[in-house]
Chains A and B, each alone.
Chain A
């Protein structure tokens, strides 16, 4: 048993993902409170270079596998590592890969699980998490029961922690070796990258999102311009993704991305509960909608009733003017 805080560090294209950097910072912060250190469990293309996670906050890193196999195929190696290490908590990103791998660890090791959480802390040597349940209508604080196994598995929402900037240091790297077992039988047989680059919404601090009211793929053009002027990215509701106006990677909500930008601008988005759970922790919410009764008007900070096609281009020009560009 240790007071360490472990975290899943996914690599892609040879580098740690944004989620890995956020969790490294979070694990370091929590380890400061528990009196342990932050340990990365690294997987994905580039994971062999996990020593660089030292600059992000990790003291050490265990490489589960440096390949593009589905995350869950690393579950056996991760389980073996956690059995030896018995850290206080394992932070996992609340992404499809993170959930698959975390779920497998819950099953393999019989562990308490939490999340997705928006806050986690160590109190008196115990993990305490805070999560919104029942679609944000209730906030619950949870902890492991006495005698529950270690580590506590904690799914962490994007932007819960902020990556360390300008850090230095090198993590001590070791490799885990364990046969993948039956979970390893899933393999990627085809990969179809998109023709055009797709923004990673979870990294954007400003998001301009469009919904049914945008009306068409072309209707997203003014939203892209506003996003560019603000220095943000474009997102969408499920209705817009289902209609094929934008790729599904841009969908925000229960079945899409969960985002926590500094500014969220909803254009022609009604604000159904399924969308709301994906953006409700945004720091500032601006909504532009023709329908004065749209549900988004109930939780936006600023709700402008009007035609987005009349307002958005003018707003883009005004933002550019005020920014002096």
Chain B
């Protein structure tokens, strides 16, 4: 089961609603690019026969169904969307709580996620879901392998890599080193329309709004644009020697040499 998130495209204009939550309706939405690597990893595992089926799970507004449809166009078998008015503005904890409850119900051998989301970038959800579900986490895999009842990831370390192993079922996350995500083929897009997609509310996964404390344990009290940097100083159309002198003077002025 691959968990995916719909995020605003990096090129789309973004704004916050009056109550300082991201206005997701206003932005062009795509699958979180790092989740596409998780999708690719899952599909490769399925193609190699290491796992039987691949499902997709997302939590978000109803249009997050589009992200699931796109994932299904890449491959996989079915999808589940958890959507509920009480989920707006969910933080890492609420997100993990909801995903964990949905995953408990779906009970996959591997709950796979991307290494981070393009918009929030906390990367706390995989660890939180593992804790909530009471199963080991294999995180930041540059490769995920399933071998019988054991899962392994290759994980970058400070100066090399480790192989980390845990018995199934596991929660796992993979990096962008697993291989470039495939494009959806035309037949994939057509087939995706016929693949089953279920929509669950909070009640369907045994949670209520009270369980989520208003979806967030934190709140944004201020949102602002970053302070403008001074304009770029450009050096163009000069010889290498002249450019070097200009750079060295600049470094010296900033006391960097």
Contacts known (A103-B124, A141-B220, A148-B217); A134 close to B160, Cβ less than 8 A: no
Q: Is B229 touching A299 in the complex (CB atoms < 8 A)?
A: yes
Report the number of A-B residue pairs with Cβ-Cβ less than 8 Å.
Answer: 284
* Docked complex: B112-153 residues within 8 A CB-CB of A: 115-116, 118-132, 134-140, 142, 152
| Of A107, A149, A319, the contact of B129 (CB 8 Å cutoff) | A107
A111 interface residue (CB < 8 Å to B) = yes
Q: Which residue of B lies closest to A13 (CB)?
A: B158
Report the bound CA distance from A192 to B162 in whole Å: 6
Which of A152, A153, A155, A185 has the largest number of chain B CB atoms within 10 A?
A185
Residue numbers of A with Cβ under 8 A of B are 12, 70, 72, 75, 96, 99-108, 110-116, 128, 132-145, 147-149, 152-153, 155, 181-194, 197-198, 200, 206, 230, 238, 248-249, 254-255, 262-263, 273, 277, 284, 286, 292, 297-307, 310-311, 314-315, 318-319, 322-323
Q: Is A107 touching B256 in the complex (CB atoms < 8 A)?
A: no
Q: Is A110 touching B247 in the complex (CB atoms < 8 A)?
A: no
CB neighbours (8 Å) of B213 from chain A are: 145, 147-148
CB neighbours (8 Å) of A105 from chain B are: 127, 131
Report the bound CA distance from A149 to B218 in whole Å: 10
Q: How far apart are B62's CB and chain A's nearest CB, in angstroms?
A: 22
Contacts known (A112-B91, A273-B10, A302-B233); A322 close to B136, Cβ less than 8 A: no
22 A–B contacts, CB within 8 A, in A order: A70-B137, A100-B139, A103-B128, A104-B130, A106-B93, A107-B127, A107-B131, A111-B217, A113-B92, A113-B122, A115-B122, A134-B119, A135-B118, A136-B226, A143-B218, A143-B219, A193-B157, A255-B34, A302-B250, A310-B240, A311-B240, A319-B248
Chain B residues bordering chain A, tally (CB within 8 A):
92
Residue numbers of B with Cβ under 8 A of A are 8, 10, 14, 16, 20, 22, 34, 91-93, 96-97, 100, 115-116, 118-132, 134-140, 142, 152, 155-167, 170, 175-177, 213-214, 216-226, 229-230, 232-238, 240-241, 243-248, 250-252, 254, 256-257
Q: How far apart are A7's CB and chain B's nearest CB, in angstroms?
A: 16
Report the bound CA distance from A197 to B158 in whole Å: 10
CB neighbours (8 Å) of B129 from chain A are: 107
Q: Is B125 touching A185 in the complex (CB atoms < 8 A)?
A: no
CB neighbours (8 Å) of B257 from chain A are: 230, 319, 322-323
Q: Is B158 touching A302 in the complex (CB atoms < 8 A)?
A: no
Q: Is A139 touching B245 in the complex (CB atoms < 8 A)?
A: no
Q: Which residue of B lies closest to A299 (CB)?
A: B229
Q: Is B164 touching A189 in the complex (CB atoms < 8 A)?
A: yes
Contacts known (A113-B92, A185-B167, A186-B166); A301 close to B115, Cβ less than 8 A: no
Q: Is A99 touching B127 in the complex (CB atoms < 8 A)?
A: yes
Report the bound CA distance from A72 to B127 in whole Å: 8
Q: How far apart are B121's CB and chain A's nearest CB, in angstroms?
A: 6
CB neighbours (8 Å) of B252 from chain A are: 322
| Of A99, A183, A300, the contact of B131 (CB 8 Å cutoff) | A183
CB neighbours (8 Å) of B217 from chain A are: 110-113, 144-145, 148-149
CB neighbours (8 Å) of A254 from chain B are: 34, 116, 118, 121
Q: Is B163 touching A103 in the complex (CB atoms < 8 A)?
A: no
Q: How far apart are A288's CB and chain B's nearest CB, in angstroms?
A: 8
Q: How far apart are B160's CB and chain A's nearest CB, in angstroms?
A: 4
| Of A72, A230, A314, the contact of B244 (CB 8 Å cutoff) | A314
| Of A106, A284, A286, A300, the contact of B127 (CB 8 Å cutoff) | A106
Contacts known (A192-B160, A301-B229); A145 close to B223, Cβ less than 8 A: no
Q: Which residue of B lies closest to A321 (CB)?
A: B248
Contacts known (A310-B240, A314-B241); A104 close to B221, Cβ less than 8 A: no
Q: How far apart are B147's CB and chain A's nearest CB, in angstroms?
A: 11
Q: Is A304 touching B246 in the complex (CB atoms < 8 A)?
A: yes
Q: Is A139 touching B225 in the complex (CB atoms < 8 A)?
A: yes
CB neighbours (8 Å) of B100 from chain A are: 107
CB neighbours (8 Å) of B142 from chain A are: 248
Report the bound CA distance from A272 to B209 in whole Å: 40
Apart from the given pairs A142-B218, A194-B160, A303-B233, 6 other A-B contacts in the complex at a CB distance below 8 Å: A103-B126, A104-B131, A107-B127, A110-B97, A137-B225, A255-B115
